[in-house]
């Protein structure tokens, strides 16, 4: 029994030293990337976006992201300036269509689904007129903050937007590595 504990503790010590050596190597930086929706969360962890209560069709909300690096040698955060952030969402709309909107989770679903208050169906027509609910790209400032505008329609009330952001991770050993993160946002009154 005693030898098992000795082997276990020796193994943990060896793994800890390897991990620490890896963190203190030539490139001690690790990407820090997060979406800052500036919204309240409900008990299930979903962010809640109230639609415009002034009777307008469209609600705009600014969403932020932080891009930086954690330095394991200096034990501090470094803001990353001029870093491109790509934004995606699962909801789309067409100008002058007040009845419904479209849903498709990019990279996960093949088809667009047209959603109205009483029905939904697969849509396979022309998608060139689709408006995205979020701008495609932003660039981080000197504080590592990027932003975009989230635009939702009143017809989207009750649905959940999956807001995604991605940026290139230059701090690891994968030369073409992009990190995507997502947050769920419920559209409410």
- pLDDT at position 17, please? 47
More confident residue, 70 or 176: 70
Q: Which range has highest mean pLDDT (4-18, 86-100, 166-180)?
A: 86-100
Is 29-188 in CATH node 2.60.40? yes
Pairing mode, if any, of strands 47-50 and 178-188?
parallel
Q: What is the per-residue pLDDT across 131-152, written as a single tens digit (0 to 9) for each?
A: 999 999 999 999 999 999 999 9
Round to whole Å and give the CA distance between 118 and 130. Answer: 21
Percent of the chain with pLDDT over 70: 82
Residue 13 has pLDDT above 70, yes or no: no
């Amino acid at each position: 029994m005693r030898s098992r504990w000795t082997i276990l503790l020796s193994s943990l010590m060896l793994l800890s030293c390897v991990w620490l050596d890896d963190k203190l190597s030539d490139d001690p930086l690790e990407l820090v990337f997060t979406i800052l929706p500036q919204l309240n969360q409900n008990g299930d962890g979903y962010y809640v976006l109230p639609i415009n209560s002034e009777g307008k069709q469209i609600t705009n909300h600014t969403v932020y992201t932080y891009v930086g690096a954690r330095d394991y040698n200096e034990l501090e955060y470094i803001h990353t300036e001029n870093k491109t952030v790509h934004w995606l969402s699962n909801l789309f709309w067409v100008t002058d269509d007040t009845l419904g909107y479209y849903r498709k989770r990019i990279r996960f679903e093949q088809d667009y689904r047209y959603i109205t208050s009483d029905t939904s169906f697969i849509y396979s027509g022309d998608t060139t007129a689709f408006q995205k609910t979020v701008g495609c790209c932003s660039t981080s400032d000197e504080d590592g903050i990027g932003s975009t505008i989230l635009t939702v329609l009143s017809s989207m009330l009750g649905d959940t937007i999956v807001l995604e952001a991605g940026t290139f991770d230059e701090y690891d050993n994968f030369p073409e590595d992009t990190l995507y993160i997502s947050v769920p946002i419920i559209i409410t009154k």
